[in-house]
Amino acid sequence: MNPELGQVALILALLLSGLQCLLPIIGAWRGSKPLMATAPSLAIGQFVFVALAFGILAWSFWTNDFSVAYVAQNSNLSLPWYYKLSGVWGAHEGSLLLWMLILNLWTVAMVALGGKLPKAFFSRVIGVLGFVAFGFLLYMITTSNPFLRLFPVPPNGADLNPVLQDPGLVFHPPMLYMGYVGFSVAFSFAIASLLGGELKSTWVRWARPWTNVAWGFLTLGIVAGSAWAYYELGWGGWWFWDPVENASFMPWLIGAALIHAQAITDKRDGLRAWTLLLSIFGFAFSLLGTFLVRSGLLTSVHAFAFAPARGVFILVYLAVVVGGSLLLYALRAPKVTGGRSFALASRETMMVIGNLMLTVACAMVLLGTLYPLVGEALDIGRISVGPPYFGPLFLLLMTPLVLALPFGPLSRWGKADLRVWRNALIRIVALAIAAGIIGFVLGARSFYELLGITAAVWVMAGVALFAIKRWREAPRGKRYPFEMLGMMLAHFGIGVFIAGAILTRSMSVEQDVSMKPGSSVEVGAYDFHFNGVAETQGPNYRAQQGTVVITRNGKHIVTLHPQKRTYAGGQVQTEAAIRAGVFRDLYVSLGDSIGNGAWSLRVYDKPFVRWIWGGGVLMMLGGFTVVLDKRFRLRRAVEPETVRATPEPLVPPKLAEGEA
Amino acid sequence: MNEVARRPIGRFVPLIVFAALVAFFVVGLVWNQTHDARFVPSPLIDKPAPAFRLPKLEQPTHFVSKVDLLGKPYLINVFASWCFACGDEHPVLMAYRDKFGIPLIGYDYKDAPQDARAWLQRHGNPYHEVIADRSGDTAIDFGVYGAPETYLIDARGIIRYKHIGPLTPEVIATELEPRIRELEDQGT
C-alpha cells in the first residue's frame, strides 16, 4: 500500500479533528442540536482515518518497505514479525501515531458509553478531545511525519534498537499510552465542566470510572516497563529513576491523587477546585511524558537546536493546553466554599494527607528529572542528580502516606470517631509488631528486613481490619460493593509492593565473579556451576550462550542460559537468564570473556522481587474493579442535573476553544 | 448572583506559577543560544584541591590520597552508574583517555560499588584508576554538585580547571587540551 495514502489519511484526520473541536463546542454554546449531533460522527471519522494511517505504517513494516525512512531506521529484513509490528511504535514518529490511535479509541469509547450524558456536556467533552487530537496531528504532520520517503531506497534497514527487541516492549508502550491518553478523558470532563460553568460537581462522578481505568492501564504499563528493565538491561535493578521512568511515574502519582480527590468531590462535594487542578495536571504530565521522552528533549536542550521546530511546537502546545486550562480555571472555577467541613481525624483528612504527599512527590520527581535541563538552560552544565536524590526523598514523602493509609478507610466521612481510631491503632500496631517478631524468629536481622515486614503488615492489616469491619457492620449483599473492593485490592497491592521493594533491597545477594568452565560459586543457599560458553544463532543475532547449573544441597534446581547477543548492526545486548519464583528469583547475566575460557558473570539471589510487580498488578486490578460499581451506571440524564452558572458563557467561544 | 464576580484572586496562582516556569524556560533557551558564555565561576579554581583519602573501587582495602598523586598533573572525572549524562560522556572518555597524556582518575560518586563495577564492565573502563566516594562526603569538599564533572589538577595539587556536565570533543579541544599543554610546558 502506498505510504502517501497514510499521509493523506493523517491530513484528513487533522481536518476532522479541527471540526470535532469547533462544531460540538459551538453547538453546546448556542444550544444548537444539529451542531452537537456532529460530535459522534466526527469522532468516528477521525478514528477511521488515524486507524488507516496506522495500518498503512504497520503494512510498510510488514512488507519491508525501506523507501519509508521510518521503516528503514527501525526495521530489518531479518527482524521477526512480532518485532516488526512493535517497531511501528519503536521510535518517536510511530509512537506518536500509536498515541493518536489510542486517543481515538478512548474518544470512540466515550461516544459509545457516554450517550446518556447531558447532550451539551457530552458535546463539550468530545470537543475538548478533538482539540487535543488536533494539536497532536498538527505536530505529527509538521514535524514528525512517519511517512517520509527515503531516496535512494536502501536494500536493508538499520534494525530496531536491540534494547527494544523484547516481548516486554511489545506491550509496554501501548499499555503506558492507554494510561497517558486515558487522563485526557478526565481532563476533557474537567474542561467541559469549566466551559459549561457547571455549578454542581456531578461531572466528577461521570469522570471517575475513566480516571480509574486510565490509572489501571498506566500502572500496568509501568509494571511492564520495570520488569523489562529488570531482565533486559542486565542489571538486576527494577527501578532506576531515569528520566523515561520518571516521565511515566509523574502522571501515575497525580492520577493516584486524582482518584482520591474525585472520590471526595463525588461523595462529599469537597475539594472541587483541587479535583479540577489535578485533572488538568494529570493530563499535563501525560503530555510532558509523551513528548519529552521520545523526542529526546528531556535529557538535553541540545535537541532543541537539533530539531528546533519540534522543540518550539512542544513548548507552545504545552503552554497553550496547560496555560489555557489554568486561565479557564482561574476565570470559571466554582467557588471553593462548596463541600462539607470535616473533623481532624476523619476520612477526608487521611485522603488529603495522601493527596498532598503524592503531589509533593510528583513535584520532587519533576524537579529532579528536569534538573539537567534547567542546568543547561542556565548554562551551568547538564548534570544528573540521580537516585541519591530521589531515593531518600521519596521514602521520606511516602512515610506519612503509608502511616495514614490504613486509617483512611477505617475512619468515617466528616466525623472523627476516636474510639474506632484507638481500636484500629492498637490492632494495627500489635499486628505489625507481631509480624516483626515472627520475621525476627524466622531469621530476619537487618533493619531494612524488619522495616519491610512491619510496613507491609501495617498496610495489609489495615485492609484486613476494614474487611472485617464491613463484614460485621454492613448488611449482607452490600458488604463489599465494587468501589470498595477495588480500593481494598489496590491498598493491599501497596502492602505487597512495600514488602517486595524493601525485602528485595535488603535480602538480595549479588556477586560479580569470574568463572572458568567447571568452577562453582555459592550465592546464598545456592550453588552456581558454570559449564562454559557456546555460540548460538538467533533470527537476527549471534549469541554467546553460557550454561549455568544451579543446585541447592546437591539437588538440581534449574539450568540457566544467559546470553550475550551481537545484532546485525553490531550492537551488543545482554540477555539475563532468570528462574522466576514467588519467593525468589535466581538471576545470571553474562559479562565479558576474560581469556583462558574464563568469563565474568553476575549472579543474584533476589528474594521477593516478583512481589514488586505483583503489588502493581493488584493496584491495576483495583483500578479496574472500581469501574464495575453500580454508582457509576449512568441513568439517562433527563437534561442537565447541572445548572448553568449564567445564561451565556463568560468567555467568547473563540477564546474558550483556544484554551481548551 | 454572579459567581465569577466574587472569584478570589487565589485562582490565578496556578496560572501565574505556570507562566513563570514557561518564561523561565523560554528565557533560558534564548539566552543559551545567543550567549556562548561557558564560564563557570568556581571558588576552588586555582586553590589547592581538598586533601582526600578514598578507597579504590576494585580494591576497597587500598586507599588513594592526594599525596599519592602529587608530582604530575591529572584529571579527575566524577561519574556514577546512575548518571545518564555520564552514559553520553563515556564514549568520549574511551576515545580520549590515551590522548590526554595525563592520568584520568575516575571518581565514583554516591554509588553502590557493585553497580559501578558492573557499569564499567559493561561499557568499558576509561580510567587509569577509580576511587569510590560512596557517602559523597569528600565530594562536598571538592564542590561537586552532580555528575558528571571534571577537574584538572596540576602537579602541586592545585585545581586549575573545572568542567560541569559531560565532556564533549569540542570542550576537550577548546578548553581542556590547551590547559593540559600549558601545564606540561610549565612542567618542563
Q: What is the DSSP string of B16-65?
A: HHHHHHHHHHHHHHHHHHH--------TTTTSBPPP-EEEBSS-TTSEEE
Cell of B163: 568542567
pLDDT at A22 over 90: yes
Q: A338 falls in which pLDDT band (50, 70, 90)? A: low
Q: A660 falls in which pLDDT band (50, 70, 90)? A: very low
Looking up cell 513563570 gives: B20
Q: Give the pLDDT confidence of A615-636 residue by residue, as tens digits.
A: 999 999 999 999 999 888 876 5
Q: Do the chains contact at A383 and B146, CB–CB below 8 Å?
A: yes
What pLDDT, on a 0 to 100 scale, did the predictor assign at position A435?
93
What pLDDT, on a 0 to 100 scale, did the predictor assign at position A125?
95
Q: A172 falls in which pLDDT band (50, 70, 90)? A: confident
B contact test, residue of A300, A382, A573 with most B CBs within 10 A: A382
Query: Is B4 near chain A, with CB under 8 Å?
Result: yes
Q: A296 falls in which pLDDT band (50, 70, 90)? A: low
B contact test, residue of A306, A328, A384, A590 with most B CBs within 10 A: A384
pLDDT at A650 over 70: no
What pLDDT, on a 0 to 100 scale, did the predictor assign at position A465?
94
Q: Give the pLDDT confidence of A484-506 residue by residue, as tens digits.
A: 999 999 999 999 999 999 998 88
Q: Do the chains contact at A372 and B115, CB–CB below 8 Å?
A: no
What pLDDT, on a 0 to 100 scale, did the predictor assign at position B29?
63
Give the residue on B whose Cα is nearest the Cα of A308. Answer: B29
Query: Is B166 near chain A, with CB under 8 Å?
Result: yes
State mean pLDDT over A632-654: 48
Q: Give the pLDDT confidence of B76-126 residue by residue, as tens digits.
A: 999 988 877 788 788 889 988 888 889 999 999 888 888 888 888 888 899
Query: Across the interface, which of B18, B84, B85 has its CB nearest the CB of A323?
Result: B18
Give the residue on A whose Cα is nearest the Cα of B21. Answer: A319
Q: Give the pLDDT confidence of A458-467 residue by residue, as tens digits.
A: 999 999 999 9
Task: State residue A580 phi and psi, 5-degree precision.
Answer: -90, 145
pLDDT at A302 over 80: no
What pLDDT, on a 0 to 100 scale, did the predictor assign at position A551?
93
**Cβ atoms of A583 and A557 closer than 8 Å:** no
State mean pLDDT over A609-614: 94
Nearest chain A CA: its distance from B52 CA (Å)? 21
Contacts from A437-446 at CB under 8 Å and sequence distance 24+? Answer: A446/A506
Biggest CA–CA distance in chain B, Å, is 87
What pLDDT, on a 0 to 100 scale, did the predictor assign at position B136?
80
What count of CB pairs under 8 Å joins A to B?
130
State mean pLDDT over A527-531: 92
pLDDT at A33 over 50: yes
What pLDDT, on a 0 to 100 scale, did the predictor assign at position A306?
52
Q: B137 falls in which pLDDT band (50, 70, 90)? A: confident
Cα dihedral value A233, A239, A243, A245, nearest 10: 100
What pLDDT, on a 0 to 100 scale, did the predictor assign at position B24?
74
State mean pLDDT over A37-52: 96
Query: Is A296 near chain B, with CB under 8 Å?
Result: no
Percent of chain A past pLDDT 70, that is, above it, reads 89
Helices A243-268 and A167-196 pack at an angle, to 10 degrees, of: 40
What pLDDT, on a 0 to 100 scale, did the predictor assign at position A621?
97
CA distance A297 to A314: 10
Q: Give the pLDDT confidence of A254-294 residue by residue, as tens digits.
A: 999 999 999 999 988 888 889 999 999 999 999 888 876 65
What pLDDT, on a 0 to 100 scale, did the predictor assign at position A610?
94
Q: Do the chains contact at A379 and B38, CB–CB below 8 Å?
A: yes
CA distance A328 to A553: 68
What pLDDT, on a 0 to 100 scale, did the predictor assign at position A415?
83
Average pLDDT, chain A: 86
